[in-house]
A and B are shown apart, each in its own frame.
Chain A
Amino acid sequence: MSTSNPPPSERASEIINSLPSSPNLITKTGTAILGTGLLATAISQELYVVNEETVVAAGTFILLAYLAKLIREPYRDWANGHIERVKTALENSRAEHTQAVKDRINSVEQMKDVVSLTQGLFAVSKETAELEAGAFVQRQKVALASELKAVLDSWVRYEQQLKESEQAELAKTIIARVTSDLTDEKMQKEILANAVAELEQLVKSKAI
């Protein structure tokens, strides 16, 4: 304690400085003189009676001043430490909250294209469905056409077969007619006459 005490001269100037004063009207000397004078007057006029209560007052004042001096610094340190601790806790929680909000914003930001992307996907799926429907229609058309073709082909084949069989029947009939005709003597004579006539014709023309 004694090492931290200021020298008496500094202590004295501290006390003088603590007296109230203003540059124009009241000087420090004036305050000191006025204070002492008022106290002396108060005592002499019995406005203030010095008695045993004065001793109690002095004792209490000295004790309270000493306690205030003793407690002030440790209390201030402790209070500041506590305030700092609360402040740190509040600031940390605020920083954590800010960070949490930022993280949330970031996570939401990653999903910002979800709407347009979904709309695009929906459009694509709609288009795909339309295309699939078109393809189905086309497949049905192809199936119908191929079935028609098959039916028609079979019909054509049938017609062809029918025609061929008719032609074969006709040829057969003609051959039979011709064969029967050839067996007819009259016919044979006629053919022979025709052949001779043709030969004569050829000879005449000097073709042979």
Chain B
Amino acid sequence: MLLNNTNLFINSPLEQFEVTNLLSFNAPLFGYISFTITNLALYTAIIFSVIVGLHFLGNNDTKLLPSKWSILFESFFASINSMVREQIGREIYLPFIYSLFFFILVSNLVGNIPYSFTITTSVIVSIGLSFTILIGVTILGLYIHKIHFFSFFIPAGTPLALVPLLVLIELISYLARAFSLGIRLFANVVAGHTLLKILSTFLFKMFSGGLIIFILTLLPFALFLAITGLELAVSFIQAYVFVLLVCSYIKDAIELH
């Protein structure tokens, strides 16, 4: 009876991405200042705790011999280190890239846990992150090359007549990076979670349909498991792609092509 009642309505698959207020403080005395703890803030705090906790667990109490946990983190570190060395060639950006990778990876993985919230499905997080990075990278380029940074927008050997057009195109392409970087992450994670939500809704209905259908539904459920596995893979791949692109943008800012 209960199951039948729950079947009567279908939640929107996008409902899971809504940022909701969990705890709110209003201060009418101070110009209506409002302090709100949302699910986004809560999960950001959880992600921070998980990252710090995992690294605390993996630091192996500074022993000389590695433990099974510390080897895992050493492997991650070695992979990101080699990527930064190959892409940028300087290790000074390694802490930033490493932190960024773990932030996105853990955000995506925590989002894969049922009943949880994925902060990278929030546009403000993904686009905000990519915009912040692109602004930082631009400042870095201006700091290193001063006015010569703008030569980045004029490809070598451009006829003078085409310079205004090409500068416009290059500028748009440069600014599009800020969007594409964030949207890539956001869109992939949102698409995966939406797909899982839609499929799980269908599967739940099918599982509720009687014993024979329940047994028959095990077959699409296996496919659902594979897609869940794919989502796990996407969590890693998107984190990797994000930091790889950030590396290449930093390299562009340092070397100007």
Contact = CB atoms under 8 A, between A and B. Distances in A.
Interface residues of B, number: 28
Interface string B177-201: 0000000000000000000110011
B2 A55 contact: no
A20 B203 CA distance: 32
Contacts of B157: none
Contact of B2 (A44, A67, A87): A44
Nearest to A55: B200
A95 to B, nearest CB: 15
A86 B65 contact: yes
Given A79-B71, A83-B66, A60 B203 contact: no
B113 A60 contact: yes
A87 B65 CA distance: 7
B203 A52 contact: yes
B112 interface: yes
Task: Bin chain A's interface residue count.
Answer: 20 to 34
A44 B115 CA distance: 20
A59 B224 contact: yes
A52 B113 contact: no
A195 to B, nearest CB: 141
Interface on chain B toward A: helix, strand, loop, or mixed SS?
A: helix
Interface in A55-112: 55-57, 59-60, 62-63, 67, 75-76, 79, 82-83, 86-87, 90
A59 B221 contact: yes
A176 interface: no
B66 A57 contact: no
B152 interface: no
B71 A56 contact: no
B68 A56 contact: no
B3 interface: yes
Contacts of A57: 114-115
A191 interface: no
B200 A59 contact: yes
B3 A50 contact: yes
Given A79-B68, A87-B65, 15 more contacts: A51-B204, A52-B11, A53-B114, A55-B204, A56-B196, A56-B197, A56-B228, A59-B200, A60-B113, A60-B228, A63-B232, A76-B68, A82-B66, A83-B66, A83-B71
10 residue pairs, one from A and one from B, having the closest CB atoms: A57-B114, A52-B200, A52-B204, A55-B200, A52-B201, A79-B68, A56-B114, A56-B200, A55-B203, A59-B228
19 contacts: A46-B2, A50-B6, A51-B6, A52-B201, A53-B115, A53-B200, A55-B204, A55-B221, A56-B197, A59-B224, A59-B225, A60-B113, A62-B225, A63-B228, A82-B66, A82-B71, A83-B66, A86-B65, A90-B64
